[in-house]
Amino acid sequence: MSHAFSTDYATMQHAQAIFQAKHREMVQLLDTLEANLQSGLGRWEDDARDAYFEAKAKWDKVAREQADTVREFSEAVGTAQQNYEAAEVANAQMWA
């Protein structure tokens, strides 16, 4: 039983573009949320503000890690595409 493998460079480029766009969207959303919250924080009192900043530090860390993971997906797809293309060229040159 033979198994074949193939890849579609256009699909890989499209996937990479989607991950890049989603990363930008996530970062922009986080920045917008932060800006919106900053305008109201002046009205918060001591304990409430302290609790907010404590929770926010944890949330920011996880949210940025998720955004970084999406960016890393994009980079991995781009690297895979480059590697497949380089391998294809090298294999074709062996027969030239």
At the topology level, CATH places domain 1-95 in Helix Hairpins (1.10.287)
CA distance 34 to 54: 14
**Residue-level pLDDT at 43:** 83
User: What is the distance between the alpha carbons of residues 82 and 23, in angstroms, rounded to a whole number?
Assistant: 21
At residue 34's C-alpha, the angle toward residues 28 and 36, to 5°, is 100
**What is the per-residue pLDDT across 19-57, written as a single tens digit (0 to 9) for each?**
999 999 999 998 998 888 888 887 888 898 889 889 989
Give this prediction's pTM: 0.72
Domain ranges of the chain: 1-95
The pLDDT of residue 72 is above 80: yes
Average pLDDT along the chain = 89
